[in-house]
Amino acid sequence: MADLKNIALRLIAHERRSREILLSKSQVALENKLFRSLGIISFARLLPSGEAARCLSDVRLGIDLGLIKDVDMSILNELMIFMQPGFLQQYAGSELTAEERDIFRANLFRERLKIELQSKDNTTEN
C-alpha cells in the first residue's frame, strides 16, 4: 500500500512539474489552445464526442492552472455526462443519428455554458 501511495505522489509531482514547464515555455500558445477549446464548447453547432472530450480536458487544465476563471469544474463534470451518446438519446427521448447527436450535444453544451457564464456575470455585478 505504501508503494502505491509513493507512486501516486511521484506521479502528481511529475504532473505539476510538467504543467509548470508547459506554462513557462509557451504560455501564450497554451492559453490560445485552452481558450479555443472553451470557445468551441461554448459556440459550436456540431460537436462530435471526441472533440467534446478533448475540449473539456483542455478547459479542465485551464481551470486547474487558474487561467480560466469563469467556469466551475462541476460544470465540466456535468458536461462529461451530457456528452455520452446514451445520455443524449435518453434526454432527446428517441434514437439519434451520429449527426443528430453531435447537434444535440452542441446545443446542450451551449445552453449549459450560457447559463453558467450568465450566473457568473450576475454574481460579479452584485
Task: Locate the domains of the chain by residue range.
Answer: 2-125
pTM of the shown model: 0.80
- The answer, yes or no, to whether residue 59 has pLDDT greater than 80, is yes
CA pair distance 73, 59, nearest whole angstrom:
9
Report residue 18's pLDDT band, with 50, 70 and 90 as the boundaries.
confident
Per-residue confidence (pLDDT) for residue 101, from 0 to 100: 96
- Rounded to the nearest 5 degrees, what angle is found at the Cα of 37, between the Cα atoms of 27 and 25? 15
User: At 25, phi and psi to the nearest 5?
Assistant: -85, -35
Per-residue confidence (pLDDT) for residue 19, from 0 to 100: 76
Is there a contact between 64 and 15 (Cβ–Cβ < 8 Å)?
no
Higher pLDDT, 63 or 15: 63
